[in-house]
Chain A
Amino acid sequence: MIAKTGLTVRLGLVVAASIVAAFVPDLLPNLFYVHIANLTLLSGIFALSLWIIYSVGQLSFGHAAFAGLGAYMSALLAMRLEVPPAIALIIAALATAGMAALLGAVILRLRGVYFVLVTFLFGQMFTLLVLNWADLTNGANGLISIPAIVIAGVSFGPRPMFFYLVFGVFLAVLLFTWGLKRSTFGRAFDSIHQNIDLAESCGIDTARYQVIAFAIGSGIAGLGGAMMAHYIRFVSPDTFTFHNSVAFITMLVVGGRSLFWGAMIGAAVITPLPELLRDFEGLQHIIYGAILILVLRLLPGGLVSLPSVLRRQGGGQ
């Protein structure tokens, strides 16, 4: 009974969101705003997938590298082997998840700052590899003229069309993350996050579940990266750097780490900032940092905690 209501509510939300989304490209004043909306949804995918990894208590500083891995693989599959982009990005996502699983099996036993350091190094290695393996990746010049995604004859290259696609994928990732959180896996993930030794004593194979979370999160990042490559039609070593990894973490912190939809709010707040702050060129990063510090000082739980903080301020319990 409860499950049925839950399902109805979710379906209702999906339908409502889709109806709103259907009008978004027409309502926005110009294509630039549609572009920002697209980037925001892509960030949402990156931040949500990073949250999945965070949900087993690990903070990945190499998330952008996995996005880049997906981007390059999908672009190369489409350009060199003429795989249809819609199929290439799925292969790229699965391959990214596979590589994350292999890496994760080795590095996930590290905890805290050690894990952070190793994922940081992985990100740097990815950039170096892409720069130096020029035969394959075209080095610093990057890959240009990446084909757009075409499904059943419909091209998702134009910005408004890509909006519909990325919105659909974002919604799917959101629902998947939601489902995952309330699933048996979600219970195992959170047990590991709260008390890894006790989780192991509950019979939960903590090593296995951490690898699963890392592979799922990184695989979704690979999917997002691949979509981005086919949308921007260009990818270079600068597209997915350490700065992007930090931006994803910032989204998680600003939005709120405790709830998965905090990541979503963080993406919505952080992504448009650099674009809106264009006029303050140079001050951008300072403003960015100030916002982060402000949120951490005033709202350690992130923006999702705002309602409960206000309620407490209001005097009521």
Chain B
Amino acid sequence: MTPLLDVRNISKRFGGLMALSDVTFSVGSDEVLGLIGPNGAGKTTCFNVVSGNTSPTSGSIRFDGQNIVGLRPSRIVRMGLSRTYQATSVFPDSTVLENVVRGAFTRSQDSLAGSIFGTGASAAAQARDRADCMDILEQVGIAHVHDQLAGALPYGYQRRLGVAIAFASRPKLIMMDEPAAGLNPEESQAMGALIRAMHERGRVSVLIVEHDMRLVMDICHRIIVLDHGELIAAGSPDEIRNDPKVIEAYLGTELVT
């Protein structure tokens, strides 16, 4: 079986800096893959290259059997690969529900003409979108603030909203860039539970970058490790935990339990 996402030999050069060199990995359907590594290792760059936000200097990326190098990010999202950002990213002046509806933009059955004239069919389609997005808000646990402006939400809720927006397009694969960044241990654990639930109920594969090792070890089937743009290890959580190279580069002497 071909993997859902197949990344081969990608490199990314910023001037004299090789942010990624010759990185190869894949994500299977129904898999949760962790991508870890020290600050500046190239994790976000890897996401940006895969999502089409920047183009790789060399290498090939296939998603769902199709080459996606050179496609616009929106096109890649419509193929079923969505992402969240390391920094909180929402539509601040819109309500929480409207934010998620925008995430579902490409799935909506609302039509241009219908929505201009305000037809019944358009209203019905919008009602379906809203109901569907309320379900997603329910799932991420912020349905009770659905009518508040996203920009006014507490930080933890904005992180959840970011996940909800990315999930709303019903992706086959969702890439999450440090979803638990800045969360306290309880919130972080809840985020982990949330991602696992999304994976299990939404049948979505996950590629996750995260510094919270407990979360990563908890939810990932497999983990790959980047250091200075190079892939230095790949394996199960247990293998990674005990890999001397990984401990030296990233995990340090601190024991991870």
Chain B CB within 10 A, most for which of A6, A184, A201: A201
B89 at the interface (CB under 8 A from A): yes
A6 is contacted by which of B73, B77, B118, B165 (Cβ under 8 Å)? B118
A310 at the interface (CB under 8 A from B): no
B94 at the interface (CB under 8 A from A): yes
A253 at the interface (CB under 8 A from B): no
A203 and B91 contact, CB distance less than 8 A: no
A194 and B93 contact, CB distance less than 8 A: yes
B102 is contacted by which of A6, A176, A202 (Cβ under 8 Å)? A202
A205 and B75 contact, CB distance less than 8 A: yes
Listed stretches A28-36, A129-137, A147-155, A185-193; interface member = A185-193
A180 and B116 contact, CB distance less than 8 A: yes
B74 at the interface (CB under 8 A from A): yes
Given A200-B74, A205-B75: A184 in contact with B111 (beta carbons within 8 A) = yes
Chain A CB within 10 A, most for which of B73, B108, B111, B120: B73
B166 — which chain A residues lie within 8 A by C-beta?
201
> CB-defined interface of A73-112 with B at 8 Å, one 1/0 digit per residue?
0000000000000000000000000000000000000000
Residue count of chain A within 8 Å CB distance of chain B: 32
B117 and A200 contact, CB distance less than 8 A: no
A195 at the interface (CB under 8 A from B): yes
A203 and B105 contact, CB distance less than 8 A: yes
State the majority secondary structure of interface residues on A: helix
**A window 171-224: CB within 8 A of B:** 176, 179-180, 182-188, 190-191, 194-195, 197-207
B9 at the interface (CB under 8 A from A): no
B74 and A203 contact, CB distance less than 8 A: yes
A291 — which chain B residues lie within 8 A by C-beta?
none
- In the assembled complex, the CB of B23 is this many whole angstroms from the nearest CB of chain A, namely 22
A312 at the interface (CB under 8 A from B): no
A184 is contacted by which of B77, B82, B115 (Cβ under 8 Å)? B115
A3 at the interface (CB under 8 A from B): yes
- Identify the A interface with B (CB < 8 A): 1-4, 6-7, 10, 176, 179-180, 182-188, 190-191, 194-195, 197-207
Q: List 15 A-B contacts (CB under 8 A).
A: A3-B118, A3-B122, A3-B123, A184-B111, A191-B91, A195-B89, A195-B91, A197-B89, A198-B85, A198-B90, A200-B72, A201-B82, A202-B103, A202-B105, A204-B106
